[in-house]
Each structure stands twice: as C-alpha cells, then as structure tokens.
Amino acid sequence: MCGILGLYSLDGRDLPAELVLRGLDAMKERGTPHGSGVALYRPVGVPRVKAFSREPAEDGVSVPIPGGLYDLTFFGSPANVRGTVYLNSRWLDVYKVVGWPGDLDEVYGIRSLSSPAWLGHTRYPTNSPGRYPYYSHPFTAGDFAIVHNGDLSSYGSNVNLLTYRMGYRSFTGNDSEAIAYLLKELSDRLGVEGAIRELMYGEKFRWARLDGPYAVAFIAGGPTPVFGAFVDPQHFRPLYVGMRDGVLAVASEAAAVRAVLGEAEYWALRGGEYILAEGDSVRGNFRRRYSYGRPAPEPEGPYLDASAFGPIDLAPRIRSMLREAGEVRVVNVLGHRYLGNGMTSGSLTIWGVVGNASANVMSGGLMRVYGDVQDDFGDTMNGGVVFVHGNAGDTLGQAKRGGSIYVYGDAGNRAGIQHRGGILMIGGSVGDYAGEYMGGGVLVVLRATSSDDVGFRIGSGMVGGTIYVRGRIPRERIGRPLRRDSLERYLRSLVEDGMLDPQAYQRVLEGDQSPLTKAARRALYGTNQLRVEWRRLSEEELRELSPHFRAFEEEFGVGVDPGEEFTVIRPLREGAAEEPSLGE
C-alpha cells in the first residue's frame, strides 16, 4: 500500500522538490518510517555512481547518514566501491532514507533541487526489511529508475529470466528491484512501450510477465528523459493521472495529484493502461475519464477548515460536532480519511477530495460531497444517503448492506463488490468487476454524465441483486470471460478423448452449449452463470427505480430517460440458458 508519485514537465522547465514532498505528504498514511526516496533527472557528463557503505570513501564524496552509514558519490568509473551500489547513471540522481519523506530534506537538503522529471515514494514494506536505506525506493537499473506500489507473485520467474537469459547474478529479494532490471533490459530490446506491454502480458519472453498487484512509475534517462506509468491488467493498485499548465503528474491518490497541481484535470488509469511522456508529447493506451457537473456552491454558515487537521485527525472532530450540532460543513478536504464513518444521523457537507475508507459503516443521515471520493468509500454502509458531486475511486460501496449512494461521475474498479442491499447509482461509467460477488440490492450505471465504455467482468461471481446499465453492453464484458483459445483447447481435449464429436465442437464454438455435459459447462463457464437481457425496464422495475432517478436528477440536474434500453444482469434462474461469454 505504498504511495508513489511522478512529475514530468512537458515544456522542459524545472520543477522544485517542494512539489514532490507536498505530494508525498498528502499520502502519508500510505507509508511508514521504514523508507522513502526520490529520483530526478539530473544529467552530468560522466556516470554518477552512488553507494551505501559503513566506511567513508577515500576518494569521492561521503555523506554521513543515520544508522552509522555513509552515502558515497563518485563521478566517472571508480575502481573499487566498498558498499552497496544503488545508482550508476550519467542522467539520473537518487536519494533514499529509512524514514519519512521529510527526512530526505533533513539528511540531504533536497528542497534546494529542481528537475523537469521526478519520482517519489513513501514505503510500506512487505517483502524486504525496512532497516537499510538500499531497500527504499526508487530502484535503478542503468539509466532507468522506478517506484512501485504492489507485491509481485511472479518474482521467482522474473528473477529466472534475469538470471538465465540476461546475466544478472545478485538480488536483494525486493520485487521492485526486479521490475527496474526488467524494464531496462526489455526496453533495450523492445523499446520502452514494448517493454511495458511485455511486463503486462509476457508475449515474447518467457518469465517476463509481472503477476500480482502493481502500479509503477519510471524515468528513463537520456538527452530527453522519458517518463511513464502503468498499472496491472487487473487493476489491483490505484494510479491517478493529472495535467495542468504543462505538468503531468501521477500518484497513488487523487489527493496527491491535487496537492501538487491544484484544480487540475485528473482521472484514474484502468487495468492494463499506461501513459508515456517524452518532450512535449504524451502517448499511451489510456483514456481520460472523470466528469464534473455544475460548479459547487459556496459554503454558507460556519464551517470547519480541514487544512488545520492531519489526515486521520479530522474524522473524530467531525463525529463530535455531528453529535453536538447535527450539521457540519467542512472545506479544504484533501485526502483526509475515515470521514463520516459510523454516521447515524445529521448532515455532513464536504468540499474537496475525500480520503480512503470514508462513509464506512454509515447507518443514517445525509452526506454530500462537492468533489471526488477515493477508494473504499461506503464500505459496509447500512443506511443513510450520500451524494457525490464528482467521481469515485475503486471498491465503491463494498459489502454495502443498505442506504443509497449517488455519484455524478465515474467509479473505478470493483464498484459494488459484494453489494448486499440498498442502491448504488453511478451517473457515468465504471471500471472492471462492477458488481463482483454481488449478493443483493441494486447497482445502476447510467452512462449519462460519461458515455465511456464500462469495464469487463461485470457481475462476475454474482449470486443476488440486479445490475442495470443504460445501453447495450457487449456480452463479452459481462461475467467471467472465457478466452477463445482456452475454449478451443478444452474442446479439442474432449474430441481427442471421444467425449465430443467434431461437428459438436464447431457448434459449441459458435455459442451452442447443448452438446456439452453439465460438468463440462461448469468447467468452462463456472457455477455462477448470469441471465443477461437487453430491454426496456418493466413496470415493476420502473416503480422501484423511478424515485432514485428523480433523486439523481434533482441533486445533479441531469435527467434520466427510463424508457431507454438497459442491459439487465441477474444471477441465472433455474431453467434459463446463458450464452457463453467469450473474451478476446
């Protein structure tokens, strides 16, 4: 759950280190005192070699650092470095500490630095010690530097590729180090963009694919630095992108982007998306998302200024004020966590970006947000009403058991995962896995404020409730997708075993499941199959949904035509048949 940050100047001007520290500070709750660091584009005419050592250098520069260590810097090609080398580049510079981001300035005075390209990291260690600065991010390989949030399950196979195909012999056990080496080696062979695809999908090199949750940002040194970021295809780790006045920013939280860029245009990458910047050009397979409605009203009456509180200190103050006054207004919220948790009554109005794990276990009252909400909003909510005049991060309404959440714009991955009751209405679009393992209640995706395509695996594992998506959603985006090559491989094995004749093989490929046994259907499509209909809403459904359509329109000023066609998704009933869901 580390916090990563990247900044790139599209017009080439230098950006001060203060921006990096400000962005990392907005994500302080993602880190620990066990590591932080920065990398920056800082070219010199010869290689800059840096190492951590227990002894000062006889030549070069030695900086004493906490823990009885020295940070050594050499220029050129030193004959003998006694220590652990963590940088060897003529284009990049790196500073790492065991401590908080602010300790970087205490030890190295980095506030005096500026650069057109930066990386920053605050560490929550999971698979290597937090007692030695080498393990802090960024990690480098030649002229590449990376920061990473995640935990790879493919580390062993990735190291096999580096060892047996690429000649590496020494590893610390940190998976982020392996990403740096792979990105450098694959970029040398395939180019940077090809390397990103290879890390995601492993199309050309065995053992190259990264498996597990990850979000990565990097800088590749050269006469013009290349900056990039990408997230895993299943999108298990968030990454937000923002642009303003010629500056591109990426960060683990929307609040960090806003802390750096202010009122910028920003959005979240979806699974398998990447963004690259070089010079003044930006490219990638990403799509800009997120929608905003009419301007937020100015707060009236007394209000609380969130900027006077730490990221977790605001929530208890709000709870106390709700008990005393019943109505609270809060301005300048920037990633503050746990807001509205356990709320039972009253009215809470917020201006800003609401931090992770807010509106959890809410059972009553009214909450209104003029801005965005980050991940895990509305978790296990039991009652009450929430209006979000912006967009929502991942896992919106997870395990929600009651109440109503209305979101003007888009929601990220896994909206409504394990949803049990009440209604979750999203005015824009949703990412992958919406309604995953849903057990009850209603999820409505209006695609009225944004016409962007919904993600894949909608309703995967669903056992109860109903999902309504305005418009006709392709069947391959719904449920557990089945790759056609997997289907063909399984069917060929049945033909070879004499359990399926060749004519039936072709019929199944064309969508007819009747030649398959019940056991074969379960093996291919799973036990939680879905009924999918493309139609107008029934009278009973209109009676159920019309009050929510009206609430959405009255709050956001966006009308909903209930007479349009919807895709309606429910768990499969007895006796109904489901056509197969073939993925790409």
Q: What pLDDT does 583 receive?
A: 34
Architecture, CATH, for domain 304-480+529-571: 3 Solenoid (2.160)
Least Cα distance to 171 among 84, 229, 268, 269 occurs for 84
- CATH number 3.60.20.10 is the correct assignment for the domain at 3-40+95-149+215-284: yes
pLDDT at 573 over 70: no
Count other C-beta atoms under 10 Å from residue 526's C-beta: 15
- Split at pLDDT 50, 70, 90, the class of 579 is very low
pLDDT, one tens digit per residue, over 331-386 is 999 999 999 999 999 999 999 999 999 999 999 999 999 999 999 999 999 999 99
The band of 524, judged by pLDDT with boundaries at 50, 70 and 90, is low
pLDDT surpasses 90 at 426: yes
Residue 581 pLDDT exceeds 50: no
Could you give the C-alpha distances from 421 to 150, 167, 362, 365, in angstroms and in order? 31, 55, 13, 17
Could you tell me the pTM of the whole model? 0.89
Q: What is the pLDDT of residues 438-454, one digit of tens each?
A: 999 999 999 999 888 89
Q: What pLDDT shows up at residue 389?
A: 97
Q: CB of 339 within 8 A of CB of 320?
A: no
What span, in angstroms and rounded, lies between the C-alpha atoms of 91 and 219?
10
Confidence label for 147 from pLDDT (cuts 50, 70 and 90)? very high
Eight-class DSSP state of 205: S
**Are 103 and 123 contacting, i.e. CB atoms less than 8 angstroms apart?**
no
The single residue listed with the structure tokens 């991010």 is 137
- Tell me which of 161-175, 393-407, 414-428 is least confident: 161-175
What's the pLDDT at 256?
96
Average pLDDT of the residues in 500-527: 76
Residue 309 and residue 113: Cα distance in Å, rounded? 28
pLDDT, tens digit, for every residue of 378-414? 999 999 999 999 999 999 999 999 999 999 999 999 9
| Helix segments in 391-498, DSSP class H | 484-496
pLDDT number for residue 265: 84
Residue 483 has pLDDT above 70, yes or no: no
Q: How confident is the model at residue 582 (pLDDT cuts 50, 70, 90)?
A: very low
Tokens representing residue 98 in the block: 């065991």
The domain locations on the chain are 3-40+95-149+215-284, 44-90, 304-480+529-571, 482-525
230-257 pLDDT, tens digit each: 999 988 999 999 999 999 999 999 999 9
SS (H, E, C) 69-124: EEEEEEECCCCCCCCEEEEEECCEEEEEECCCHHHHHHHHCHHHCEECEEEEEECC
Among 20-29, 369-378, 524-533, the range scoring the smallest mean pLDDT is 524-533
d(CA 349, CA 331): 9
Q: 3-state SS of the chain: helix, strand, coil percent to 5?
A: 25, 30, 45
Give the integer Cα–Cα distance in Å for 189 and 276: 18
Instruction: For residues 50-70, give the mean pLDDT.
Output: 92
| Count of helix runs (H) and strand runs (E) in the chain | 10, 32
Cα first-last separation, the chain: 31
Query: Which of 102, 20, 110, 121 minimizes the C-alpha distance to 71?
Result: 110
* pLDDT value of residue 574: 35
Mean pLDDT of the chain: 91
Mean pLDDT of 516-537: 77
3 state DSSP class of 319: helix
526 falls in which pLDDT band (50, 70, 90)? low
| pLDDT beyond 80 at 469 | yes
Question: What whole-number distance in Å separates Cα of residue 368 and Cα of residue 62?
Answer: 54
For 71-92, the pLDDT digits (tens) are 999 998 887 888 899 999 999 9
Per-residue pLDDT band at 140 (split at 50, 70, 90): very high
Percent of the chain predicted with pLDDT > 70 = 95
Q: Pick the residue with more confidence: 570 or 495? A: 570
**In this predicted model, which residue has the larger pLDDT, 327 or 573?**
327
Q: Decide if pLDDT at 260 tops 70.
A: yes
C-alpha distances out from residue 245 to 2, 253, 354, Å:
28, 20, 24
